[in-house]
Structure 1
Protein backbone atom coordinates (compact mmCIF):
# COMPACT_ATOMS: atom_id res chain seq x y z
CA UNK A 1 0.00 0.00 0.00
CA UNK A 2 2.79 2.45 0.86
CA UNK A 3 4.31 2.05 -2.62
CA UNK A 4 1.00 2.94 -4.23
CA UNK A 5 0.38 5.87 -1.87
CA UNK A 6 3.79 7.39 -2.62
CA UNK A 7 3.62 7.23 -6.39
CA UNK A 8 4.98 10.38 -8.09
CA UNK A 9 2.89 13.43 -7.20
CA UNK A 10 2.35 16.23 -9.70
CA UNK A 11 2.94 19.81 -8.64
CA UNK A 12 -0.78 20.54 -8.93
CA UNK A 13 -1.72 17.60 -6.70
CA UNK A 14 1.01 18.50 -4.19
CA UNK A 15 -0.36 22.05 -4.01
CA UNK A 16 -3.85 20.65 -3.43
CA UNK A 17 -2.58 18.32 -0.68
CA UNK A 18 -0.80 21.19 1.08
CA UNK A 19 -3.96 23.32 0.85
CA UNK A 20 -6.18 20.67 2.40
CA UNK A 21 -3.70 19.93 5.20
CA UNK A 22 -1.68 22.99 6.20
CA UNK A 23 -4.33 25.37 4.88
CA UNK A 24 -7.04 23.65 6.92
CA UNK A 25 -4.93 23.90 10.09
CA UNK A 26 -4.48 27.65 9.62
CA UNK A 27 -8.18 28.24 8.96
CA UNK A 28 -9.21 26.13 11.96
CA UNK A 29 -7.04 28.28 14.21
CA UNK A 30 -8.42 31.57 12.84
CA UNK A 31 -12.01 30.34 13.22
CA UNK A 32 -11.81 31.45 16.85
CA UNK A 33 -11.40 35.04 15.64
CA UNK A 34 -13.25 35.25 12.33
CA UNK A 35 -16.48 33.87 10.90
CA UNK A 36 -14.96 34.32 7.44
CA UNK A 37 -12.34 31.70 8.32
CA UNK A 38 -15.20 29.32 9.11
CA UNK A 39 -16.75 29.99 5.70
CA UNK A 40 -13.41 29.45 3.96
CA UNK A 41 -12.88 26.22 5.90
CA UNK A 42 -16.29 24.94 4.74
CA UNK A 43 -15.36 25.85 1.16
CA UNK A 44 -12.08 23.98 1.53
CA UNK A 45 -13.90 20.88 2.78
CA UNK A 46 -16.23 21.00 -0.23
CA UNK A 47 -13.27 21.36 -2.62
CA UNK A 48 -11.53 18.44 -0.91
CA UNK A 49 -14.22 16.21 -2.42
CA UNK A 50 -12.52 16.64 -5.80
CA UNK A 51 -9.06 16.08 -4.30
CA UNK A 52 -10.38 12.90 -2.73
CA UNK A 53 -11.27 11.55 -6.18
CA UNK A 54 -7.55 11.62 -7.02
CA UNK A 55 -6.29 10.34 -3.67
CA UNK A 56 -8.83 7.50 -3.44
CA UNK A 57 -7.22 5.81 -6.45
CA UNK A 58 -3.96 5.46 -4.53
CA UNK A 59 -5.63 3.28 -1.90
CA UNK A 60 -6.68 0.69 -4.46
CA UNK A 61 -4.16 -2.06 -5.30
CA UNK A 62 -3.39 -2.29 -9.06
CA UNK A 63 -4.91 -5.79 -9.34
CA UNK A 64 -7.93 -5.12 -7.10
CA UNK A 65 -11.17 -6.78 -8.16
CA UNK A 66 -14.28 -4.65 -8.26
CA UNK A 67 -16.52 -5.31 -5.28
CA UNK A 68 -20.21 -5.95 -5.71
CA UNK A 69 -22.75 -3.54 -4.25
CA UNK A 70 -23.50 -6.07 -1.54
CA UNK A 71 -19.81 -6.35 -0.60
CA UNK A 72 -19.41 -2.57 -0.51
CA UNK A 73 -22.50 -2.27 1.68
CA UNK A 74 -21.14 -4.97 3.99
CA UNK A 75 -17.87 -3.06 4.18
CA UNK A 76 -19.74 0.09 5.20
CA UNK A 77 -22.01 -1.60 7.76
CA UNK A 78 -19.07 -3.46 9.30
CA UNK A 79 -16.99 -0.26 9.47
CA UNK A 80 -19.85 1.70 11.06
CA UNK A 81 -20.45 -0.97 13.71
CA UNK A 82 -16.73 -1.10 14.52
CA UNK A 83 -16.62 2.67 14.95
CA UNK A 84 -19.83 2.72 16.99
CA UNK A 85 -18.52 0.13 19.45
CA UNK A 86 -15.07 1.75 19.60
CA UNK A 87 -16.46 5.26 20.12
CA UNK A 88 -18.69 3.95 22.91
CA UNK A 89 -15.64 2.58 24.72
CA UNK A 90 -13.71 5.82 24.09
CA UNK A 91 -16.57 7.96 25.44
CA UNK A 92 -16.83 5.79 28.57
CA UNK A 93 -13.08 6.10 29.09
CA UNK A 94 -13.15 9.89 28.66
CA UNK A 95 -16.15 10.24 30.96
CA UNK A 96 -14.27 8.72 33.89
CA UNK A 97 -10.76 9.95 33.03
CA UNK A 98 -11.25 13.56 31.92
CA UNK A 99 -13.86 15.05 34.22
CA UNK A 100 -13.23 18.68 33.17
CA UNK A 101 -13.58 17.85 29.48
CA UNK A 102 -16.70 15.79 30.12
CA UNK A 103 -18.31 18.59 32.18
CA UNK A 104 -17.41 21.23 29.59
CA UNK A 105 -18.83 19.09 26.79
CA UNK A 106 -22.06 18.43 28.71
CA UNK A 107 -22.49 22.18 29.25
CA UNK A 108 -21.95 22.79 25.53
CA UNK A 109 -24.64 20.27 24.59
CA UNK A 110 -27.03 21.62 27.22
CA UNK A 111 -26.55 25.24 26.12
CA UNK A 112 -27.09 24.34 22.48
CA UNK A 113 -30.21 22.33 23.32
CA UNK A 114 -31.64 25.29 25.25
CA UNK A 115 -31.03 27.52 22.23
CA UNK A 116 -32.87 25.01 20.06
CA UNK A 117 -35.83 24.89 22.46
CA UNK A 118 -35.91 28.69 22.67
CA UNK A 119 -36.38 28.77 18.90
CA UNK A 120 -39.71 26.99 19.27
CA UNK A 121 -43.01 28.70 18.64
CA UNK A 122 -44.75 30.14 21.69
CA UNK A 123 -48.41 29.50 22.30
CA UNK A 124 -49.28 33.15 21.71
CA UNK A 125 -47.23 33.58 18.54
CA UNK A 126 -48.80 35.21 15.50
CA UNK A 127 -48.90 33.46 12.12
CA UNK A 128 -45.89 35.44 10.85
CA UNK A 129 -43.90 34.68 13.99
CA UNK A 130 -44.76 31.02 13.65
CA UNK A 131 -43.52 30.96 10.05
CA UNK A 132 -40.30 32.79 10.93
CA UNK A 133 -39.71 30.44 13.87
CA UNK A 134 -40.27 27.41 11.66
CA UNK A 135 -37.73 28.60 9.10
CA UNK A 136 -35.22 29.42 11.86
CA UNK A 137 -35.59 25.86 13.09
CA UNK A 138 -35.15 24.47 9.57
CA UNK A 139 -32.07 26.66 9.04
CA UNK A 140 -30.53 25.46 12.31
CA UNK A 141 -31.18 21.79 11.60
CA UNK A 142 -30.03 22.22 8.01
CA UNK A 143 -26.77 23.86 9.05
CA UNK A 144 -26.10 21.11 11.62
CA UNK A 145 -26.58 18.39 9.00
CA UNK A 146 -24.50 20.36 6.49
CA UNK A 147 -21.63 20.77 8.98
CA UNK A 148 -21.77 17.08 9.91
CA UNK A 149 -21.68 16.06 6.25
CA UNK A 150 -18.63 18.24 5.66
CA UNK A 151 -17.01 16.67 8.74
CA UNK A 152 -16.94 13.37 6.87
CA UNK A 153 -14.64 14.97 4.30
CA UNK A 154 -12.03 15.39 7.04
CA UNK A 155 -11.01 11.87 6.00
CA UNK A 156 -9.69 13.38 2.76
CA UNK A 157 -7.56 15.60 5.02
CA UNK A 158 -6.29 12.48 6.80
CA UNK A 159 -5.41 10.61 3.61
CA UNK A 160 -3.68 13.71 2.22
CA UNK A 161 -1.64 13.98 5.43
CA UNK A 162 -0.73 10.27 5.35
CA UNK A 163 0.51 10.61 1.76
CA UNK A 164 2.44 13.79 2.60
CA UNK A 165 4.09 12.20 5.66
CA UNK A 166 4.98 9.03 3.75
CA UNK A 167 6.66 11.10 1.03
CA UNK A 168 8.67 12.90 3.73
CA UNK A 169 9.63 9.59 5.40
CA UNK A 170 10.71 8.24 2.01
CA UNK A 171 13.07 11.18 1.51
CA UNK A 172 14.42 11.30 5.09
CA UNK A 173 14.90 7.53 5.57
CA UNK A 174 15.82 6.25 2.08
CA UNK A 175 17.75 3.16 3.26
CA UNK A 176 15.05 1.83 5.54
CA UNK A 177 12.46 2.63 2.89
CA UNK A 178 14.45 0.73 0.25
CA UNK A 179 14.77 -2.26 2.61
CA UNK A 180 11.03 -2.82 2.27
CA UNK A 181 10.13 -2.31 5.94
CA UNK A 182 7.55 0.34 5.24
CA UNK A 183 4.64 -0.66 7.47
CA UNK A 184 6.29 1.17 10.37
CA UNK A 185 6.15 4.40 8.33
CA UNK A 186 2.47 3.84 7.56
CA UNK A 187 1.69 3.23 11.24
CA UNK A 188 3.74 6.30 12.17
CA UNK A 189 1.76 8.43 9.70
CA UNK A 190 -1.49 7.00 11.08
CA UNK A 191 -0.47 7.81 14.66
CA UNK A 192 0.64 11.37 13.83
CA UNK A 193 -2.53 12.15 11.87
CA UNK A 194 -4.62 10.84 14.77
CA UNK A 195 -2.83 13.21 17.17
CA UNK A 196 -3.38 16.08 14.73
CA UNK A 197 -7.05 15.07 14.44
CA UNK A 198 -7.36 15.46 18.21
CA UNK A 199 -5.49 18.77 18.29
CA UNK A 200 -7.60 20.18 15.45
CA UNK A 201 -10.73 19.76 17.55
CA UNK A 202 -9.30 22.31 20.00
CA UNK A 203 -7.96 24.92 17.56
CA UNK A 204 -11.17 26.84 16.94
CA UNK A 205 -11.66 27.93 20.58
CA UNK A 206 -9.60 28.78 23.65
CA UNK A 207 -10.06 26.30 26.50
CA UNK A 208 -8.25 25.50 29.76
CA UNK A 209 -5.58 22.83 29.37
CA UNK A 210 -7.52 20.44 31.60
CA UNK A 211 -10.33 20.53 29.03
CA UNK A 212 -8.04 20.67 26.00
CA UNK A 213 -6.05 17.55 26.97
CA UNK A 214 -9.26 15.58 27.41
CA UNK A 215 -10.50 16.73 24.00
CA UNK A 216 -7.20 15.89 22.29
CA UNK A 217 -7.03 12.38 23.76
CA UNK A 218 -10.72 11.65 23.09
CA UNK A 219 -10.76 12.83 19.48
CA UNK A 220 -7.29 11.41 18.75
CA UNK A 221 -8.56 7.97 19.75
CA UNK A 222 -11.59 8.41 17.52
CA UNK A 223 -9.31 9.63 14.73
CA UNK A 224 -7.20 6.49 15.15
CA UNK A 225 -10.29 4.32 14.65
CA UNK A 226 -11.23 6.26 11.51
CA UNK A 227 -7.68 5.82 10.23
CA UNK A 228 -7.73 2.07 10.86
CA UNK A 229 -11.05 1.82 9.04
CA UNK A 230 -9.53 3.74 6.12
CA UNK A 231 -6.57 1.35 5.88
CA UNK A 232 -8.73 -1.75 6.44
CA UNK A 233 -11.35 -0.93 3.81
CA UNK A 234 -8.92 0.80 1.42
CA UNK A 235 -11.95 2.87 0.55
CA UNK A 236 -11.92 6.60 1.23
CA UNK A 237 -15.63 7.06 0.55
CA UNK A 238 -16.71 4.31 2.94
CA UNK A 239 -14.71 6.06 5.69
CA UNK A 240 -16.14 9.46 4.73
CA UNK A 241 -19.67 8.03 4.88
CA UNK A 242 -19.10 6.39 8.28
CA UNK A 243 -17.69 9.66 9.70
CA UNK A 244 -20.48 11.82 8.30
CA UNK A 245 -23.35 9.52 9.33
CA UNK A 246 -21.96 9.05 12.82
CA UNK A 247 -21.73 12.83 13.29
CA UNK A 248 -25.22 13.34 11.86
CA UNK A 249 -26.81 10.73 14.12
CA UNK A 250 -24.86 12.09 17.12
CA UNK A 251 -26.25 15.57 16.44
CA UNK A 252 -29.77 14.16 16.09
CA UNK A 253 -29.28 12.26 19.34
CA UNK A 254 -28.08 15.32 21.27
CA UNK A 255 -30.64 17.82 20.06
CA UNK A 256 -33.61 16.21 18.35
CA UNK A 257 -34.09 12.42 18.70
CA UNK A 258 -33.13 10.48 21.83
CA UNK A 259 -30.74 7.58 21.18
CA UNK A 260 -30.53 8.31 17.44
CA UNK A 261 -27.01 6.85 17.25
CA UNK A 262 -27.99 3.64 19.03
CA UNK A 263 -31.16 3.21 16.94
CA UNK A 264 -29.23 3.78 13.72
CA UNK A 265 -26.51 1.34 14.82
CA UNK A 266 -29.19 -1.26 15.57
CA UNK A 267 -30.65 -0.82 12.09
CA UNK A 268 -27.16 -1.11 10.59
CA UNK A 269 -26.59 -4.33 12.58
CA UNK A 270 -29.80 -5.87 11.20
CA UNK A 271 -28.82 -4.93 7.64
CA UNK A 272 -25.30 -6.28 8.21
CA UNK A 273 -26.53 -9.65 9.46
CA UNK A 274 -28.95 -10.01 6.54
CA UNK A 275 -26.36 -9.07 3.92
CA UNK A 276 -23.69 -11.24 5.56
CA UNK A 277 -26.03 -14.23 5.46
CA UNK A 278 -26.90 -13.60 1.81
CA UNK A 279 -23.22 -13.25 0.93
CA UNK A 280 -22.37 -16.55 2.63
CA UNK A 281 -25.23 -18.31 0.81
CA UNK A 282 -24.05 -16.84 -2.49
CA UNK A 283 -20.46 -17.97 -1.86
CA UNK A 284 -21.63 -21.49 -0.97
CA UNK A 285 -23.68 -21.66 -4.17
CA UNK A 286 -20.75 -20.50 -6.28
CA UNK A 287 -18.45 -22.99 -4.56
CA UNK A 288 -20.93 -25.79 -5.23
CA UNK A 289 -21.24 -24.80 -8.88
CA UNK A 290 -17.45 -24.77 -9.21
CA UNK A 291 -17.18 -28.24 -7.65
CA UNK A 292 -19.85 -29.61 -10.01
CA UNK A 293 -18.05 -28.09 -12.99
CA UNK A 294 -14.73 -29.61 -11.89
CA UNK A 295 -16.37 -33.03 -11.43
CA UNK A 296 -17.88 -32.75 -14.91
CA UNK A 297 -14.50 -31.93 -16.40
CA UNK A 298 -12.92 -34.88 -14.56
CA UNK A 299 -15.58 -37.24 -15.92
CA UNK A 300 -15.10 -35.96 -19.46
CA UNK A 301 -11.33 -36.29 -19.26
CA UNK A 302 -11.60 -39.87 -17.99
Structure 2
Protein backbone atom coordinates (compact mmCIF):
# COMPACT_ATOMS: atom_id res chain seq x y z
CA UNK A 1 0.00 0.00 0.00
CA UNK A 2 2.81 2.42 0.83
CA UNK A 3 4.15 2.05 -2.73
CA UNK A 4 0.81 3.15 -4.17
CA UNK A 5 0.40 5.96 -1.66
CA UNK A 6 3.78 7.45 -2.58
CA UNK A 7 3.41 7.28 -6.34
CA UNK A 8 4.50 10.50 -8.13
CA UNK A 9 2.28 13.47 -7.28
CA UNK A 10 1.54 16.23 -9.77
CA UNK A 11 2.23 19.82 -8.74
CA UNK A 12 -1.48 20.68 -8.86
CA UNK A 13 -2.42 17.73 -6.64
CA UNK A 14 0.44 18.50 -4.24
CA UNK A 15 -0.73 22.11 -3.94
CA UNK A 16 -4.31 20.95 -3.32
CA UNK A 17 -3.12 18.52 -0.62
CA UNK A 18 -1.14 21.26 1.13
CA UNK A 19 -4.18 23.55 1.06
CA UNK A 20 -6.51 20.90 2.50
CA UNK A 21 -4.03 20.02 5.27
CA UNK A 22 -2.00 23.04 6.39
CA UNK A 23 -4.54 25.52 5.03
CA UNK A 24 -7.32 23.80 6.95
CA UNK A 25 -5.27 23.96 10.16
CA UNK A 26 -4.82 27.72 9.77
CA UNK A 27 -8.49 28.36 9.01
CA UNK A 28 -9.58 26.16 11.90
CA UNK A 29 -7.48 28.23 14.28
CA UNK A 30 -8.83 31.48 12.84
CA UNK A 31 -12.43 30.39 13.41
CA UNK A 32 -12.07 31.46 17.03
CA UNK A 33 -11.72 35.05 15.76
CA UNK A 34 -13.67 35.18 12.49
CA UNK A 35 -16.96 33.80 11.18
CA UNK A 36 -15.57 34.15 7.66
CA UNK A 37 -12.77 31.71 8.52
CA UNK A 38 -15.42 29.19 9.55
CA UNK A 39 -17.22 29.66 6.23
CA UNK A 40 -13.97 29.25 4.31
CA UNK A 41 -13.16 26.12 6.32
CA UNK A 42 -16.55 24.62 5.37
CA UNK A 43 -15.89 25.48 1.72
CA UNK A 44 -12.49 23.79 1.94
CA UNK A 45 -14.09 20.65 3.36
CA UNK A 46 -16.56 20.58 0.45
CA UNK A 47 -13.73 20.99 -2.08
CA UNK A 48 -11.76 18.21 -0.36
CA UNK A 49 -14.27 15.75 -1.84
CA UNK A 50 -12.65 16.26 -5.24
CA UNK A 51 -9.17 15.84 -3.77
CA UNK A 52 -10.35 12.62 -2.12
CA UNK A 53 -11.60 11.44 -5.51
CA UNK A 54 -8.01 11.71 -6.78
CA UNK A 55 -6.41 10.14 -3.71
CA UNK A 56 -8.82 7.25 -3.13
CA UNK A 57 -7.36 4.95 -5.86
CA UNK A 58 -3.96 5.08 -4.13
CA UNK A 59 -5.38 2.95 -1.30
CA UNK A 60 -6.00 0.06 -3.69
CA UNK A 61 -3.55 -2.56 -4.84
CA UNK A 62 -3.49 -3.68 -8.47
CA UNK A 63 -4.30 -7.26 -7.40
CA UNK A 64 -7.42 -6.29 -5.43
CA UNK A 65 -10.63 -7.71 -6.85
CA UNK A 66 -13.60 -5.35 -7.16
CA UNK A 67 -16.08 -5.83 -4.33
CA UNK A 68 -19.78 -6.47 -4.75
CA UNK A 69 -22.36 -4.07 -3.31
CA UNK A 70 -23.04 -6.57 -0.53
CA UNK A 71 -19.34 -6.76 0.36
CA UNK A 72 -19.04 -2.97 0.38
CA UNK A 73 -22.09 -2.73 2.63
CA UNK A 74 -20.56 -5.34 4.93
CA UNK A 75 -17.38 -3.25 5.04
CA UNK A 76 -19.39 -0.23 6.10
CA UNK A 77 -21.51 -2.03 8.72
CA UNK A 78 -18.46 -3.78 10.17
CA UNK A 79 -16.47 -0.55 10.26
CA UNK A 80 -19.31 1.37 11.92
CA UNK A 81 -19.77 -1.30 14.59
CA UNK A 82 -16.03 -1.35 15.29
CA UNK A 83 -15.97 2.42 15.66
CA UNK A 84 -19.10 2.42 17.82
CA UNK A 85 -17.60 -0.09 20.25
CA UNK A 86 -14.19 1.59 20.19
CA UNK A 87 -15.60 5.08 20.74
CA UNK A 88 -17.72 3.81 23.64
CA UNK A 89 -14.58 2.48 25.34
CA UNK A 90 -12.70 5.73 24.59
CA UNK A 91 -15.52 7.84 26.05
CA UNK A 92 -15.61 5.68 29.20
CA UNK A 93 -11.83 6.00 29.54
CA UNK A 94 -11.90 9.79 29.09
CA UNK A 95 -14.77 10.19 31.54
CA UNK A 96 -12.74 8.38 34.20
CA UNK A 97 -9.26 9.83 33.45
CA UNK A 98 -10.02 13.36 32.22
CA UNK A 99 -12.83 14.50 34.47
CA UNK A 100 -12.35 18.22 33.76
CA UNK A 101 -12.69 17.62 30.02
CA UNK A 102 -15.69 15.33 30.54
CA UNK A 103 -17.47 17.86 32.77
CA UNK A 104 -16.72 20.71 30.37
CA UNK A 105 -17.96 18.74 27.37
CA UNK A 106 -21.15 17.68 29.14
CA UNK A 107 -21.77 21.33 30.04
CA UNK A 108 -21.20 22.37 26.42
CA UNK A 109 -23.76 19.83 25.24
CA UNK A 110 -26.26 20.94 27.89
CA UNK A 111 -25.78 24.64 27.05
CA UNK A 112 -26.28 23.96 23.34
CA UNK A 113 -29.40 21.90 24.07
CA UNK A 114 -30.84 24.69 26.24
CA UNK A 115 -30.08 27.19 23.48
CA UNK A 116 -31.89 25.04 20.92
CA UNK A 117 -34.92 24.69 23.18
CA UNK A 118 -34.99 28.44 23.82
CA UNK A 119 -34.76 29.17 20.11
CA UNK A 120 -37.78 26.97 19.47
CA UNK A 121 -40.02 28.94 21.87
CA UNK A 122 -42.32 31.54 20.34
CA UNK A 123 -42.53 35.09 21.67
CA UNK A 124 -46.28 35.20 21.20
CA UNK A 125 -47.64 37.24 18.30
CA UNK A 126 -50.97 37.92 16.67
CA UNK A 127 -52.65 34.76 15.49
CA UNK A 128 -50.10 32.90 17.59
CA UNK A 129 -52.25 29.79 17.68
CA UNK A 130 -51.73 29.47 13.93
CA UNK A 131 -48.16 30.70 13.46
CA UNK A 132 -46.47 29.12 16.47
CA UNK A 133 -46.57 25.48 15.31
CA UNK A 134 -45.57 26.47 11.76
CA UNK A 135 -42.63 28.68 12.72
CA UNK A 136 -41.52 26.23 15.40
CA UNK A 137 -41.41 23.47 12.78
CA UNK A 138 -39.33 25.53 10.33
CA UNK A 139 -36.98 26.69 13.08
CA UNK A 140 -36.40 23.09 14.11
CA UNK A 141 -35.78 22.03 10.49
CA UNK A 142 -33.36 24.95 10.04
CA UNK A 143 -31.43 24.07 13.20
CA UNK A 144 -31.26 20.34 12.54
CA UNK A 145 -30.35 20.96 8.90
CA UNK A 146 -27.34 23.07 9.86
CA UNK A 147 -26.15 20.49 12.39
CA UNK A 148 -26.48 17.68 9.85
CA UNK A 149 -24.60 19.79 7.29
CA UNK A 150 -21.63 20.37 9.60
CA UNK A 151 -21.58 16.72 10.66
CA UNK A 152 -21.57 15.60 7.03
CA UNK A 153 -18.61 17.88 6.33
CA UNK A 154 -16.83 16.39 9.34
CA UNK A 155 -16.74 13.07 7.50
CA UNK A 156 -14.58 14.69 4.82
CA UNK A 157 -11.88 15.20 7.46
CA UNK A 158 -10.79 11.71 6.42
CA UNK A 159 -9.59 13.24 3.14
CA UNK A 160 -7.45 15.54 5.29
CA UNK A 161 -6.03 12.48 7.06
CA UNK A 162 -5.23 10.59 3.85
CA UNK A 163 -3.56 13.66 2.34
CA UNK A 164 -1.46 14.12 5.48
CA UNK A 165 -0.47 10.45 5.51
CA UNK A 166 0.68 10.62 1.89
CA UNK A 167 2.69 13.79 2.53
CA UNK A 168 4.35 12.26 5.60
CA UNK A 169 5.17 9.04 3.74
CA UNK A 170 6.77 11.05 0.92
CA UNK A 171 8.89 12.87 3.51
CA UNK A 172 9.89 9.58 5.17
CA UNK A 173 10.81 8.17 1.75
CA UNK A 174 13.15 11.11 1.10
CA UNK A 175 14.67 11.29 4.59
CA UNK A 176 15.16 7.53 5.14
CA UNK A 177 15.87 6.16 1.64
CA UNK A 178 17.86 3.09 2.78
CA UNK A 179 15.28 1.84 5.23
CA UNK A 180 12.55 2.60 2.71
CA UNK A 181 14.28 0.55 0.00
CA UNK A 182 14.88 -2.30 2.44
CA UNK A 183 11.14 -3.00 2.30
CA UNK A 184 10.34 -2.29 5.96
CA UNK A 185 7.77 0.37 5.20
CA UNK A 186 4.94 -0.60 7.53
CA UNK A 187 6.68 1.26 10.35
CA UNK A 188 6.49 4.47 8.30
CA UNK A 189 2.79 3.88 7.65
CA UNK A 190 2.14 3.37 11.38
CA UNK A 191 4.15 6.51 12.21
CA UNK A 192 2.09 8.51 9.71
CA UNK A 193 -1.11 7.10 11.21
CA UNK A 194 0.02 7.98 14.74
CA UNK A 195 1.09 11.52 13.81
CA UNK A 196 -2.15 12.26 11.94
CA UNK A 197 -4.11 10.97 14.95
CA UNK A 198 -2.26 13.39 17.23
CA UNK A 199 -2.98 16.23 14.78
CA UNK A 200 -6.63 15.15 14.66
CA UNK A 201 -6.80 15.52 18.44
CA UNK A 202 -5.03 18.90 18.43
CA UNK A 203 -7.31 20.22 15.68
CA UNK A 204 -10.34 19.70 17.93
CA UNK A 205 -8.88 22.29 20.32
CA UNK A 206 -7.81 24.95 17.79
CA UNK A 207 -11.14 26.75 17.42
CA UNK A 208 -11.44 27.84 21.06
CA UNK A 209 -9.26 28.75 24.03
CA UNK A 210 -9.41 26.24 26.88
CA UNK A 211 -7.51 25.54 30.11
CA UNK A 212 -4.80 22.92 29.70
CA UNK A 213 -6.60 20.46 31.98
CA UNK A 214 -9.48 20.44 29.49
CA UNK A 215 -7.31 20.73 26.35
CA UNK A 216 -5.18 17.68 27.20
CA UNK A 217 -8.30 15.61 27.76
CA UNK A 218 -9.72 16.76 24.42
CA UNK A 219 -6.47 16.01 22.55
CA UNK A 220 -6.15 12.50 23.99
CA UNK A 221 -9.83 11.67 23.48
CA UNK A 222 -10.05 12.86 19.89
CA UNK A 223 -6.59 11.49 19.04
CA UNK A 224 -7.83 8.05 20.09
CA UNK A 225 -10.93 8.57 17.95
CA UNK A 226 -8.70 9.63 15.06
CA UNK A 227 -6.52 6.56 15.49
CA UNK A 228 -9.62 4.40 15.28
CA UNK A 229 -10.74 6.13 12.07
CA UNK A 230 -7.24 5.70 10.66
CA UNK A 231 -7.21 1.97 11.41
CA UNK A 232 -10.59 1.64 9.71
CA UNK A 233 -9.18 3.48 6.68
CA UNK A 234 -6.23 1.10 6.43
CA UNK A 235 -8.39 -1.98 7.07
CA UNK A 236 -11.06 -1.18 4.48
CA UNK A 237 -8.68 0.55 2.04
CA UNK A 238 -11.74 2.56 1.16
CA UNK A 239 -11.75 6.30 1.78
CA UNK A 240 -15.47 6.72 1.18
CA UNK A 241 -16.48 3.97 3.62
CA UNK A 242 -14.42 5.75 6.29
CA UNK A 243 -15.92 9.12 5.36
CA UNK A 244 -19.42 7.64 5.64
CA UNK A 245 -18.70 6.04 9.03
CA UNK A 246 -17.29 9.33 10.35
CA UNK A 247 -20.20 11.42 9.05
CA UNK A 248 -22.97 9.06 10.20
CA UNK A 249 -21.44 8.66 13.64
CA UNK A 250 -21.25 12.43 14.07
CA UNK A 251 -24.80 12.86 12.77
CA UNK A 252 -26.28 10.23 15.09
CA UNK A 253 -24.24 11.58 18.02
CA UNK A 254 -25.67 15.07 17.41
CA UNK A 255 -29.20 13.67 17.13
CA UNK A 256 -28.62 11.75 20.36
CA UNK A 257 -27.36 14.79 22.28
CA UNK A 258 -29.93 17.34 21.17
CA UNK A 259 -32.94 15.78 19.47
CA UNK A 260 -33.45 12.00 19.81
CA UNK A 261 -32.41 10.04 22.90
CA UNK A 262 -30.05 7.11 22.19
CA UNK A 263 -29.93 7.82 18.43
CA UNK A 264 -26.38 6.42 18.20
CA UNK A 265 -27.28 3.22 20.03
CA UNK A 266 -30.47 2.71 18.00
CA UNK A 267 -28.63 3.26 14.72
CA UNK A 268 -25.84 0.90 15.81
CA UNK A 269 -28.45 -1.74 16.65
CA UNK A 270 -30.02 -1.36 13.20
CA UNK A 271 -26.56 -1.60 11.60
CA UNK A 272 -25.85 -4.76 13.62
CA UNK A 273 -29.06 -6.40 12.37
CA UNK A 274 -28.23 -5.49 8.76
CA UNK A 275 -24.65 -6.72 9.23
CA UNK A 276 -25.77 -10.12 10.54
CA UNK A 277 -28.27 -10.56 7.72
CA UNK A 278 -25.75 -9.63 5.02
CA UNK A 279 -23.05 -11.77 6.64
CA UNK A 280 -25.37 -14.77 6.60
CA UNK A 281 -26.24 -14.17 2.94
CA UNK A 282 -22.55 -13.79 2.07
CA UNK A 283 -21.67 -17.07 3.79
CA UNK A 284 -24.50 -18.87 2.01
CA UNK A 285 -23.32 -17.41 -1.30
CA UNK A 286 -19.76 -18.63 -0.68
CA UNK A 287 -21.01 -22.07 0.31
CA UNK A 288 -23.15 -22.29 -2.81
CA UNK A 289 -20.22 -21.25 -5.00
CA UNK A 290 -17.95 -23.75 -3.27
CA UNK A 291 -20.46 -26.55 -3.86
CA UNK A 292 -20.77 -25.57 -7.53
CA UNK A 293 -16.99 -25.65 -7.98
CA UNK A 294 -16.83 -29.02 -6.25
CA UNK A 295 -19.56 -30.39 -8.53
CA UNK A 296 -17.66 -29.16 -11.58
CA UNK A 297 -14.46 -30.82 -10.35
CA UNK A 298 -16.30 -34.13 -9.75
CA UNK A 299 -17.86 -33.96 -13.20
CA UNK A 300 -14.46 -33.34 -14.78
CA UNK A 301 -12.94 -36.21 -12.80
CA UNK A 302 -15.76 -38.55 -13.94
CA UNK A 303 -15.01 -37.76 -17.57
Partner Cα distance (2:55, 2:123) in 1: 53
1:131 is displaced (CA, Å) by 3.8
Partner Cα distance (2:193, 2:121) in 1: 47
Partner Cα distance (1:184, 1:4) in 2: 16
Query: Which string of whole-angstrom CA distances, capped at 9 and with x for unpartnered residues, describes residues 189-215 of structure 1?
Result: 000000000000000000000000000
Q: Provide the residue aligned with 1:93 in structure 2.
A: 93
1:132 is displaced (CA, Å) by 3.7
Partner Cα distance (1:106, 1:121) in 2: 23
Whether the 8 Å contact between 2:120 and 2:139 is mirrored in structure 1 is no
Alignment pair present for 1:269 and 2:278: no
Q: Provide the residue aligned with 1:280 in structure 2.
A: 283
Match of 2:142 among 134, 139, 147: 139
Partner Cα distance (2:69, 2:99) in 1: 44
Alignment pair present for 1:10 and 2:13: no
Partner Cα distance (1:228, 1:128) in 2: 50
1:266 is displaced (CA, Å) by 0.3
Q: Provide the residue aligned with 2:79 in structure 1.
A: 79
Partner Cα distance (2:2, 2:76) in 1: 23
Partner Cα distance (1:213, 1:87) in 2: 18
Q: Provide the residue aligned with 1:202 in structure 2.
A: 205
Partner Cα distance (2:120, 2:158) in 1: 35
1:245-256 equivalences under 5 Å are 245-256=248-259
1:136 is displaced (CA, Å) by 2.4
1:62 is displaced (CA, Å) by 1.0
Alignment pair present for 1:22 and 2:25: no
1:122 is displaced (CA, Å) by 4.3
Poorly superposed stretches of 4+, deviation over 4 Å: 122-125
Q: Provide the residue aligned with 2:195 in structure 1.
A: 192
* Residues 120-129 or 35-44, more deviating: 120-129
Query: Which string of whole-angstrom CA distances, capped at 9 and with x for unpartnered residues, describes residues 31-86 of structure 1?
Result: 00000000000000000000000100000111211100000000000000000000
Q: Provide the residue aligned with 2:240 in structure 1.
A: 237
Partner Cα distance (2:273, 2:136) in 1: 38
1:138 is displaced (CA, Å) by 1.6
Whether the 8 Å contact between 2:52 and 2:239 is mirrored in structure 1 is yes
Partner Cα distance (1:172, 1:79) in 2: 34
Tell me the TM-score normalised to structure 2 length.
Answer: 0.97
Partner Cα distance (2:37, 2:120) in 1: 30
Partner Cα distance (2:256, 2:75) in 1: 24
Q: Provide the residue aligned with 1:212 in structure 2.
A: 215
Partner Cα distance (1:296, 1:52) in 2: 48
Whether the 8 Å contact between 1:121 and 1:130 is mirrored in structure 2 is no
Match of 1:221 among 224, 228, 238: 224
Q: What is the CA RMSD across the aligned residues, in angstroms? A: 1.1
Partner Cα distance (2:203, 2:275) in 1: 33
Partner Cα distance (1:197, 1:78) in 2: 23
Q: Provide the residue aligned with 1:158 in structure 2.
A: 161
Runs (5+) with no aligned partner, structure 2: none
Alignment pair present for 1:168 and 2:167: no
Tell me the TM-score normalised to structure 1 length.
Answer: 0.97
1:120 is displaced (CA, Å) by 2.2
Query: Which string of whole-angstrom CA distances, capped at 9 and with x for unpartnered residues, describes residues 266-299 of structure 1?
Result: 0000000000000000000000000000111111
1:133 is displaced (CA, Å) by 3.6
